[in-house]
Amino acid sequence: MGRESMSDDAMPDPAQDPPPFYRRHVFCCVNERPAGHPRGCCLEKGSPRLRNYMKARAKELGLDDVRINASGCLDRCELGPTMVIYPEGVWYTYRTPEDVDEILRVHVIQGGRVKRLMLHPEDGTPAA
């Protein structure tokens, strides 16, 4: 029923999707919550400064097909600052410029993973 009632426009055919506009698309949460909120927020943990650093470093490295975006609340506040890298859908927590450098070098450029900083779906408390 559902399928038959869909128009031609709506037929899912992901194999025919356009090629990616960005090879890797990074979203860094820069959301701010009121001071004292029990969940905390990525902004109070310094995410805007770290995201700006990541964006500048990506430019210096000539990563023209990569975009480092700021985003609203990614809703994993307790683990922040958090970022997610698509199309992989891999999440990281990060605290320092050195963390950002490692994510850029190992994940964004080399296609690897920085396991010590990766988040998993079941993570509900701050990473060690």
Determine if residue 127 is left, alpha or beta; phi over 0 gives left, psi from -120 to 50 gives alpha, anything else beta. Answer: beta
* Helix, strand, or coil (residue 54): helix
Integer CA distances (angstroms), 93 to 1, 46, 56, 105, 115, in order: 44, 12, 19, 16, 10
User: Contact between 128 and a copy of itself (CB under 8 A)?
Assistant: no
x-or-dash string of contact with a copy of itself, 47-66, rule CB under 8 A: --------------------
For a copy of itself, the closer of residues 44 and 67 by Cβ is 67
Q: Are 94 and 79 in contact (CB under 8 A)?
A: no
For a copy of itself, the closer of residues 36 and 104 by Cβ is 104
Among positions 56, 59, 69, 96, the unique one binding a copy of itself when judged by CB under 8 A: 69
Q: Where do contacts with a copy of itself occur on this chain (CB under 8 A)?
A: 2, 6, 9-14, 17-22, 25, 27, 67, 69-76, 84, 86-91, 106, 110-116, 118-121
